[in-house]
Structure 1
Amino acid sequence: MREPDPAKVEALVGQLVGELGGAVSGALIVLGDRLGLYRAMADGEPVTSEALAATTGFDERYLREWLSAQAAAGYLDYDPQAKTFAMSPEAAAAFADEGGPAFFAGAFEVVQSLWLDEPKIEEAFRSGAGVGWHEHSNCLFRGTERFFRTGYNTNLVSSWLPAIDGMVERLEHGALVADVGCGHGASTILMAQAFPKSRFYGFDYHGPSIEQARQSAKAAGVADRITFQTAKASDFPAEGFDLVAMFDCLHDMGDPVGAGRHVRSALGDDGVWMIVEPFANDELQDNLNPVGRIYYAASTMICTPASRAQEVGLALGAQAGEARLKQVAEEAGFSHFRRATETPFNLVFEARA
């Protein structure tokens, strides 16, 4: 074994202390989210653990320890004189405002699934086999919807669809739209709410997600203009769609080229394939940053195993990048491909035959 540099070891250990703190805090975020503790403190009023216990009905001693951990993490403010804890407006936006643009608590349910399903991925490393999306823990499905919904709420109607040439006008007049790989239907429902004259279809191979999407559409009051159906990306009904959208799912597919060919056959005249993918540069070294770190980790534990579990098993990964995605679209028969817009977390592409 090579002799390490003591100073670099010390620096690395210091970094790992921070990593460990973040890892254990994730479990407490999930706990606080599930119990409604963040929502109970969202008004910003300082509370003692006793007062919070009286408000929520939970055990004071457990609450005291949770509150202390949240303060140590910097998520809550602590007043040592009054012995009270308070939530800042910024923390409330991240942990309590599920419909807001900064909500982040749902992301930690995805992280929870990584730990729960780690033994399955370990076996996949040994065998080379895949692990299907449906084989993961339920918190992955719930957490994915809650995490990505934040970005969709902020960007889908206001900037992503307007970036697709002529699409908003078509949707306003009444278009036929397919949301492929729709999961719990957050993106489909948002579009249906914004464009009441259009007709929407949500497709996903995962039956339980489709059932949840139907319930969510009914609760949102748009079930009359959305049809959710269990179907794969390679065999959903071809209806002459004006828009086929795929949100953060193309890289999970075993045969994205085959899926693209089916999309092409399902589009009507001048139809558009809108592809939303995790933000990535084309070269690995340009993705070695905080966002790339998250996506490579998720790709290792979720996306690549999902693709390997399907036919072809191309395994694009969550950091495929524009050049590789353009190649997929061209192999699927699309001659026009452009980056329509982007955010720090997503790339949005427009493909036309």
Structure 2
Amino acid sequence: MAVDQERLQTFMGRMVGEFGAVASAALILLGDKLGLYQAMAGRGPMTSSELATRTGMTERYLREWLSAQAAAGFVEYQSSSQTYELPAEQALCFADETSPVFIPGFFQVCESMFNDLPLIEEAFRTGKGVGWHQHSHALFHGTERFFRPGYAANLISTWIPALDGVDAKLKAGASVADVGCGHGSSTILMAQAYPQSTFVGFDYHEPSIQYARRAAEKAEVTDRVRFEVAAAKDFPGRDYELVTFFDCLHDMGDPIGAAEHVRQSLKPDGTWMIVEPFANDRTEDNFNPVGRIFYAASTLICTPASLSQDGQMGLGAQAGEKRLKDVVVKGGFRHFRRATETPFNLILEARP
């Protein structure tokens, strides 16, 4: 093959940026776990020695970490005073867990991706799946921390109001099942916003359910929230006014079977809200920065999860609205529409 040297050099220049991004991921994790970003947020310029005093960490390590952060453009460096400052914008991203742009959770997910590579390598060779429960704990905690800011910013203010009549039902008092609830963030957010309604979160992963129960106690919503271990195809209960699936339908081996069970569990005028990663229907239309992230997650987490279950449909995180509609309709639903969207999510409404 003839090699175009100019194209090669351009590509290698791009790869230098990739090297820095991958290496910086570990440093972001370190800064998050050690509380370094929190210690810098809103405190103005500081030297590495001042940060060491504030955090109790070793100055020499902090000096190197801060230089790496400055080289990445995450913090600002003043050479005259040899000080480093975390700007307000970056503080929202790195230090404020209530911010809609808080990002360290994503890097915890990436930590799991690297930790669990031996499992994925074996899956590639054998065709077997890798269940959610087989991953490292970094995935469970990272997923909750990564998705929670987006849910907090959009779920109550935009997504539920986009559904036909659901907001009014929840305000009056309705029965809700949140399936695949993980650590329970979505369930608790809804319970806090709609105190007249009752909520039950279901997940097959018992450690996540135990975590969600503790989170509900901390949020003081146990009077209207409970969490139970159950899978999407057999969760108990009937006559729910609302069933929600947050970023989990595509992970299921038999999403059509799950859809059938949701249909049976709903009231005749009930609603199924399905939140899925944003994707266009054509593969090539997802070749963009968001699609790149989701295809990577799908390769390492979502598709292996589906292939570990009965059905092994393997929708993947970039299934797209057309394929998701096909699943929902085959599950017995007659009404399906895109209620709203964000750059990262499709919010879909299904009704019997």
Q: TM-score, normalised by structure 2?
A: 0.99
1:220 maps to a residue whose letter is A
Note the alpha carbon deviations across 1:155-181, whole angstroms, 9 max, x for none: 000000000010000000000000000
CA distance in 2, matches of 1:130, 1:292: 22
Which residue identity is paired with 2:33? R
Cα distance in 2 for partners of 1:154, 1:285 equals: 30
- Partners of 2:238 and 2:264 within 8 A in 1: no
Q: Give yes or no for contact 2:177–2:240 (8 Å, CA) kept in 1.
A: yes
State yes or no: 1:210 paired with 2:209.
yes
Secondary structure of the 1:106 match is: helix
Shift in Å, 1:285: 0.8
Q: What does residue 33 of structure 1 align with?
A: 32
- Which aligned runs of 4 or more in structure 1 are off by greater than 4 angstroms? none
Q: C-alpha deviations, 1:281-326, integer Å up to 9, x for none?
A: 0001100000000000000000000000000110000000000000
* Partner Cα separation in structure 2 for residue 108 and residue 19 of structure 1: 15
Kept after mapping to 2: 8 A contact 1:130/1:309: yes
Q: How does 1:177-196 map to 2 (within 5 A)?
A: 177-196=176-195
| Cross-structure match for 1:293 | 292
Give structure 2 stretches of 5+ with no counterpart: none
Q: Distance in 2 between matches of 1:4 and 1:222?
A: 63
Distance 2:88 2:75 in 1: 10
* Partner Cα separation in structure 2 for residue 328 and residue 269 of structure 1: 19
Secondary structure of the residue aligned to 1:223 is coil
Q: Name the SS for the 2:167 alignment partner.
A: helix
Residue 106 (structure 1) shift: 1.1
SS in structure 1 at match of 2:201: strand
Deviation, 1:268, is: 1.1
In the TM superposition, residue 269 of structure 1 has moved relative to its aligned partner by 2.5
Shift of 1:239: 2.3
Letter in 2 for 1:279: F
How far apart are the structure 2 equivalents of 1:193 and 1:60?
43
2:335 match: 336
- Contact map agreement 2:290 2:344 (CA 8 A) in 1: yes
Shift of residue 80 of structure 1? 0.4
* Cα shift at 1:238: 2.4
How far apart, CA to CA, are the structure 1 residues paired with 2:160 and 2:171? 11
Contact map agreement 1:44 1:89 (CA 8 A) in 2: no
C-alpha separation between the residues in 2 aligned to 1:92 and 1:239? 45
Q: TM-score, normalised by structure 1?
A: 0.99
Q: Which amino acid aligns with 2:223?
A: D
Asked if 1 retains the 8 angstrom alpha-carbon contact of 2:76 and 2:87, the reply is yes
Matched residue type, 1:64: R
- Structure 1 residues 7-29: Cα deviation after superposition (integer angstroms, max 9, x where no partner): 11101101111011000100110
The residue correspondences of 1:316-327 to structure 2 (distance < 5 A) are 316-327=315-326
Structure 1: where are the runs of 5+ without partners?
none
Amino acid at match of 1:94: C
Q: Distance in 2 between matches of 1:269 and 1:152?
A: 27
Same amino acid, percent of matched pairs: 61
Partner of 1:224: helix, strand, or coil? coil
Equivalence for 2:121: 122
Report the residue type matching 1:76 in the other structure.
Answer: V
Contact 1:44-1:88 within 8 A present in 2 as well: no
1:51 counterpart = 2:50: yes
Q: In structure 2, what is the Cα distance between the partners aligned to 1:7 and 1:120?
A: 38
**Paired residue total:** 352
